[in-house]
A and B are shown apart, each in its own frame.
Chain A
Amino acid sequence: MESSRNIKVALVGDTQVGKTSISTRFIYNRFDFTPVSTTGGQYKKKIIFVNQNQVQINIWDTAGQERFRALSELYYRSASAIILVYDVTRMETFLNLKYWIGELRAKGDKNAVIVMVGNKIDAAERVVSKAQAAQLAAEEKVFYKEASALSGESVCEIFNLIVEQVQIMQNPTEEVVSVKIQEQKDKKWFACC
């Protein structure tokens, strides 16, 4: 596995749940209203500072449509963290999570940190409830967060959690200080490429 200085994160999930939007929000802190559909995969990276240490986050953004699932494997196979995205306004994307978790457990890294993320919580017509999702997360023993790429709510927290958990995974004996990624506005700390 890569060292905690260099974390590989893969974004997976059904089509049009907002995988690309989450990564764009995290990296550029902006929202594209008309992104293009991802075919194959996209690579993005960002250098962040965690407790004065430089950490490079490599994000692999995958295509959601069934036809490209065989290829998504390439991306999440060696990832140390996987963000599994579903859309809180569409039940079928939530129901597919079981399939995804099965795939990730079978083909991904055994120690990978899996975070289930319900996207689009800003939308009014919510279908998947928080309790429902929390229950699934507990059953499957994965982490669970809700976020909105549109408003930017909680997106940074997902990555806080990932950096923290990857550190725990890699140095189980060391005491991990709680992770706080520096605020996005602070240009001094936040180098973007």
Chain B
Amino acid sequence: MRPLIHDFEFNVPTVKLASIQINKDLRPYEPIQDPSIPVYKLRSIQIKQGLEADFMQPVFVQNTLINGVPDESRTRGDMWKYALSYLSPFKKQREDELAGMRKTYRNYVQCFLVDPLSDTENLSANITKMRQHSIQIVKDLLRTQQNMNFYREINEEQALLEGDYNGLIPQVLKSQNLSALFRILFIYSNLNVERYTQGQNELVSQLFMTLRRNDQNQNPFLVEADCFWCFQRMMTTMRSLFDLADDASNHGLIASTKRLDYFISKLRPKTYKLFVKQNISTAMFAVSWITSMFVQLLDGPNLERLWDVLICQLFLREKQLLQTFGYSLKLQEEVKIAKDQIHSIQVNPNDYFYQSRKAIIDAYVPIEDEEPGQNLLDYKRESWIDYMLAFCIVVVEYTVNKGGDEQIMFSLQQPTVFQEVEIEVMIRQAFDVLSEMRREIHGSKFSQFVKKFVQ
């Protein structure tokens, strides 16, 4: 018999489901021996030491992100890059790989922007063709995070440096950072079938700002290249939220809001009654929360702290995934598979773990006749969003408890909870909700299944 794995996805239901094992040494606010050193400093030192290691332990990345990266350590950018599998876990390979990726990005800029725009014969034809992508992007960039000085347009003289890409974009972007965002999104929309979608501008803007702020080399172009690849990797898992074609799948945007409805109805029946009474569905307010990962609600350190956890969810340890699907591998093999063809590993439909996953999917009942994902990528796409939904429930709960019945939809549009409750508290509560969610699913269908199996 295959041993049961105490994975955060599939705990045995009889045991109390602690969603994630947090390493006690890394827990913030834990009393320490020497009270003269603040905890965040201690953690900064730990993280910096950890980054020096020859092999980056996935568990280290996960623990660090769940507990939050202290701002003063200036390592948040690196941690995110590891979590998005952009930096190699092996120290030896890191520099070469980075150089390669940055070179590729430079080539993309050459192919998609520099060459077509310098080709004088076909210039106007090229521009007309390319404009379909560029105009929408620029429109949205001009209204992206404009409350941040980082993206504010600057004075005219400096603006002349950037230009309007020979008329490719309708107006000059008067900020170097906005120009960087434009290049990233433009190349992304050219390389991917589903093109650019609103919401992606918010994601890239936050990603770029954080990477730039935590960059040690002070080279904006390298940061831009890194940001592009991090964004690309983020989208590998999140793409279905932005692709209309994926709406009919278990990991699409519609299914996500349906899941949120399902969980609210099961875990917070009072709130759900209120929603039904006032004819509110979560799709009415949660869509912008989910697609922009709360960028429109939060900003600054609070947002970065939340993103630590959200990005950690995008990074499900390959080993855990494989174990979930019944593979048992050594570390070296794991990394090799992870790089080569992790997403194409097929799952045996008779497998115990596949069956349990199916039980969970059945419990959501989002889309009829849709089987759970049969490969690892689908699995990742289905499961990463659970924490985000848990956080949504926390926000909803606070808002509903506070506001009068009449005002509920209105206050859900502009939740004031972030001004009143510490983000750290809400993040912890969301983890509790997450385990409640899992308990709910396991309790309904999965537990019976497991009982049979264990006996």
Task: Give residues in A with beta carbon < 8 Å to B.
Answer: 15-16, 34-45, 63, 65-68, 70-71, 74-75, 78, 193
Chain A residues, Cβ within 8 Å of B409: 43
Q: Inside 8 A of A66's CB, which chain B residues have their CB?
A: 244
Given contact pairs A36-B143, A40-B285, a sample of 5 additional A-B residue pairs in the complex whose CB atoms are under 8 Å apart: A39-B291, A40-B284, A44-B413, A71-B283, A71-B287
Residues on the A chain within 8 Å of B242, using CB: 67
Known: A34-B146, A39-B292. A70 touches B247 (CB 8 A): yes
Partner of B244, one of A16, A38, A45, A70: A70
Q: List 10 A-B contacts (CB under 8 A).
A: A15-B136, A36-B143, A36-B144, A37-B201, A40-B285, A43-B284, A63-B198, A65-B197, A67-B198, A67-B242
List chain B positions with a Cβ less than 8 A from chain A.
136, 139-140, 142-144, 146, 197-199, 201-202, 242-244, 247, 253-254, 279, 281, 283-288, 291-292, 296, 409-410, 412-413
In the complex with contacts A40-B284, A40-B287, A35-B197 CB distance below 8 A: no
The 6 closest A-B pairs by CB, nearest first: A40-B287, A34-B146, A39-B288, A40-B288, A65-B198, A67-B197
Chain B residues positioned under 8 Å from A35 (CB to CB): 143
Contact A34 B283 (CB under 8 A): no
Contact B197 A40 (CB under 8 A): no
Number of A-B contacts (CB under 8 A): 70
- On chain A, the residues within 8 Å of B142 by CB distance are 34
- Complex formed: what's the CA distance from A54 to B452 in Å? 62
- Assess the B139–A45 pair: CB atoms within 8 A: no
Q: How far is the CA of A65 from the CA of B412 in the complex (A)?
A: 22
Are the CB atoms of A39 and B284 closer together than 8 Å? no
B296 near A193 with CB under 8 A, answer no
Once bound together, how far apart are the Cα atoms of A39 and B287, in whole Å? 7
Contact A15 B139 (CB under 8 A): yes
A42, B283: Cβ atoms under 8 Å?
Answer: no
Chain B residues, Cβ within 8 Å of A193: 410
CA distance A44 to B288 in the complex (A): 15
Inter-chain CA distance A15–B137, complex, in Å, is 11
The residue on B at minimum CB distance from A69 is B244
Q: When the two chains form their complex, are residues A68 and B296 in contact, meaning their CB atoms are under 8 A apart?
A: no
* Complex partner residue of A43 from B243, B281, B410, CB under 8 angstroms: B410
B201:A40 contact, CB within 8 angstroms: no
Distance from A99 Cβ to chain B, minimum over Cβ atoms (Å)? 15
Contacts of B201 in A (CB 8 A): 37
Which residues of chain A have C-beta atoms less than 8 A from B244's C-beta? 66-67, 70
Contact status of A34 and B143, CB under 8 A, knowing A66-B244, A74-B281: yes
